Structure 1
Amino acid sequence: MKYTKKEQDLSQLQTIQVSLLQSVAPLLKAGGTLVYSTCTVDREENQEVIEKFLREHPEFEGDTAFAERMPVAIKPLINGYDVQIFPQDFGSDGFYIACLRKKVE
């Protein structure tokens, strides 16, 4: 598949994705889980979106128990509360998954 994204597209997509997370954040109860997933390997759409969201929403944290709920084959790729899967890892598309938890006060 031909890669067709441009630099300006990434900025716009990142803005949309952060906005989506910000829209659903107030709907989640304390202790609830928020899963963010994309089918891209672009850091701007993945880790940077989550890092920005966590900076702006201190009531959320990465859910490191995420690894316990993932298949054994994926566990070596998990980095705390997120995982980036590249096409060469499993002969599939690239994916990113981050698991966040709304803190209980």
Structure 2
Amino acid sequence: CTGLGVMRRHPEAKLTKKPEDLDAIFSIQQKILNNVAPLLKRGGTLVYSTCTVNRKENDKMVEQFLKQHTEFELDTTLATRLPVGLKDQATTGMVQLIPGDFNTDGFFIAALKRK
């Protein structure tokens, strides 16, 4: 991922990222998800996680993946596997942590279950 979620600790990151970097990284992320999807058994959960707050890499990536892979759905049980402070934020099967929340960097987690 672009790592934009760690700028709190590494502010120099914003100086090294260019718009074309995002497109290249987005393409790599798509390829990784598309290549791993057929390897997951039915009922299995694929966890997609990034250390960025960029929506294109996070929820938009998941939305696109789900459109292309109808054999997957968001796993709404993700909330049951997270610390108490995050449970309410993860009811959809995805959670976005903003830098500073819970004294963390910016992270995104999605649980994708194969039907």
TM surpasses 0.5: yes
Q: Which runs of 5+ in 1 are unaligned?
A: none
Counterparts of 2:83 and 2:38 in 1: how far apart (Å)?
30
Misfit runs of 4+, over 6 Å: none
- CA offsets 1:44-103 (integer angstroms, 9 cap, x no match): 111111111111000000000111111101113225110000112122210000001000
Root-mean-square deviation (Å): 1.1
Which one has a larger percent helix, Structure 1 or Structure 2? Answer: 2
Q: Which of 47, 55, 79 is 2:59 aligned to?
A: 47
Q: Which residue of structure 2 aligns with residue 85 of structure 1?
A: 97
Answering whether residue 105 of structure 2 is matched by residue 72 of structure 1, we say no
CA contact (8 A) 2:79 2:88 kept: no
Q: Which runs of 5+ in 2 are unaligned?
A: 1-10
Residues 1-105 of structure 1 correspond to what in structure 2 (within 5 A)? 1-2=11-12, 3=14, 4-103=16-115
Counterparts of 1:11 and 1:48 in 2: how far apart (Å)?
13
Counterparts of 1:77 and 1:68 in 2: how far apart (Å)?
11
Query: Identity over the aligned pairs, expressed in percent?
Result: 52
Counterparts of 2:56 and 2:80 in 1: how far apart (Å)?
26
Counterparts of 1:75 and 1:7 in 2: how far apart (Å)?
33
